[in-house]
Amino acid sequence: MDLERTLVLVKPDGVQRGLVGTIIGKFEATGMKIVGMKLMHVSDTLAQRHYAEHEGKPFYAGLVDYITSAPVVALCLEGPDAIAITRKLMGATNPSDAPPGTIRGDFGVEISRNLVHGSANEGDAAREVGLFFSDEELIDYPRSNDVWIASDEG
């Protein structure tokens, strides 16, 4: 079974509201493995690179200002279908559209304060993980439950 890696950011509102542990716990409960994690301030340069696809749009400056306003927790998660599972668990971008049980559905307040970011696809995941983590910061390690999560046996 192929494993994917994806970037998740617990955004400034998630950190400021004290939801980091709860949010990380929801991702870990799926069986995904944390292979990288750090608390950090996002620099203007990193924010601009991260949101480059939105440059020139009316909301671009607000995105950069917000993500640099307070610390974030950056995670690199690994697992089968990690990108799709992460996005499903986050819920719709607008918390009012996110179903109960999702991070945004349970804890989100408004679209501009929606707690988490997750890579949209494999290309974005590779680019974003590379922006936030060096190869040396990502750790490959076995877990005893990996055989129960990512087994090819039925």
> What pTM, to 2 d.p., does this model score?
0.93
Task: Dump the DSSP string for 30-45.
Answer: TTPEEEEEEEEPPPHH
pLDDT number for residue 144:
85
Q: In the prediction, which pLDDT does 151 show?
A: 60
* Structure confidence at residue 2 (pLDDT): 80
Which pLDDT score is estimated for 118? 97
Predicted pLDDT at 147: 80
**What pLDDT, on a 0 to 100 scale, did the predictor assign at position 114?**
94
Q: Whole-angstrom Cα distance, residue 104 to residue 60?
A: 21
Structural tokens at position 104: 């945004």
**What's the pLDDT score for residue 116?**
98
Q: Give the residue numbers marked as catalytic.
A: 117
* 10-residue averages of pLDDT along the chain (154 residues): 91 98 97 97 97 93 96 97 97 96 96 95 97 97 82 58
pLDDT of the residue at 149? 77
**Which single residue is written with the structure tokens 């992460």?**
86
